[in-house]
Structure 1
Amino acid sequence: MDRTQNPFSKFIELKDVIVKSNGRTILNIPHAIIPADRICACIGPNGAGKTTLLKLLDGLIKPDSGSVTHSSNTHSSSLVLHHTPMIKASARTNIAMVRDVDPSISLEDIDAVMLQIGLTHLASSPAHQLSAGERQ
C-alpha cells in the first residue's frame, strides 16, 4: 500500500472479501481500509453483517475468498460477542414466545411488530440460521 493513498499508521486492508453462510453471501467487500490505530464504529441495519465483519477483522473467521491483511504482524484487538438464544423453530415462533409472558399479545401483534422492524421476509426462516443482528 502506497503511504500517499493511506493516511493510517496501522490498518487492516480487505480486498475482494466474500463471506458466505449456508450458501448466502453475508459480506461482499471489494476493497476497504480500516484504521487500526483509533476507535472505529461499525454501524448498519440488522443482518447487514456487522458481527461477521468484526469476527473477520479479529481473525476469528476466514473469508471464503479474498484477503484480509494487517499492516503489521502484531495486532491487538478485542471483540465482545453475545449469544441470543433461539429455539429451533421459525423466527416468528421465537418472537411469539413473548406470549408466554403476556398472553394479551396476539399473533396479529407479532406480525405487526415483524412488519414494523422489517423482518417479515424472515418470518418463516429457521431462527438458528439468522445473523446475530437479525436474532437481536
Structure 2
Amino acid sequence: MFELNQVLVERNNRKILDIPNLQLPSDQVCVILGHNGSGKTTLMQCLARQLSPDQGEITFNGQSLSRFSQRKLAQNIAFLPQSLPISSGLTVRELVQLGRFPWRGTWGKLKRDDHTIIESAIEQVGIDQYANQFVEDLSGGERQRAWIAMLLAQESPVLLLDEPTSALDIAHQYELMSLLKKLNQETGQGMVIILHDINLAARYADCIFAMKQGRCFFQGSPEALMQPDRLEALYGIPMSLIQHPDNSSKVALVC
C-alpha cells in the first residue's frame, strides 16, 4: 500500500502535484488517468522515488520511501518509465538478466536460481522464441514484453508502468493489458499503470485514480467512474456511454 500525506510538488510557484491524503493499493491493477499535464507522471515519479516531493511524505507498506536504500527500493518496487532506456546491443535474455541486479549487485555471479527466474520471466511474457535476439530488432509490442520480463525477473511485489501502451497499436495495447492483468492474477504482483485510454482502463483496472490539475479528481472502481457527467467533468468534453455488445461493461464515446 502506498500512502501519501500532504505531498506537494511545485515548479515556478505553480503546484504540479497537491495530494493532501491518498492511499493506493499495491496488490491490484490500479490505473492512473487524467489529461495531459494533470500530474500523472509526476505522481508516478514520486512513487518510484525518481522525484522527491517539496513537502509531505510517501510511505510504502508503512515505511517512508526516503528511508529505503536504493537496493532495497528496487527489491520492492520496479519502475518502467515512458521513455525506455537505451538497450542497444543487448539480447532479450541479457536485458532480462539486468532484473537480477538488485539481488546480486554489479559483480555478483548469477546462480542457478537466478537463471531459473530469468527463463521463467521470458516464458511468462511469451517471448521465448526471441530470447537470443537483439532487443532493438523486436517490434514495439515484443520490446515492451521484454522490458516487462525484466521487471518480473526483478521479483519486486509492485510494478510501476508509465504509459506502457503509448507507442503500441490498438491490438498490442489490449494484448499488453491482458498480459499485465494475467500476471497480477497469477503472481499477485501489484500494478500501478498510467493510461490515457478510458476504455482500456475500465476494462482491465481493479481501481482507478483520476487526476485533474495535480489533484485527486476521482478514486474508486471503473464502474463508478463510467458516468457521463463524471467523465465530462474530468476531460472537459461531452461524453456518452454505450453498452458493450459482448459483456456487461460500458464504453465511453466522445459526443
Which TM-score applies when normalising by structure 1? 0.49
Structure with the higher strand share, 1 or 2: 2
Which TM-score applies when normalising by structure 2? 0.27
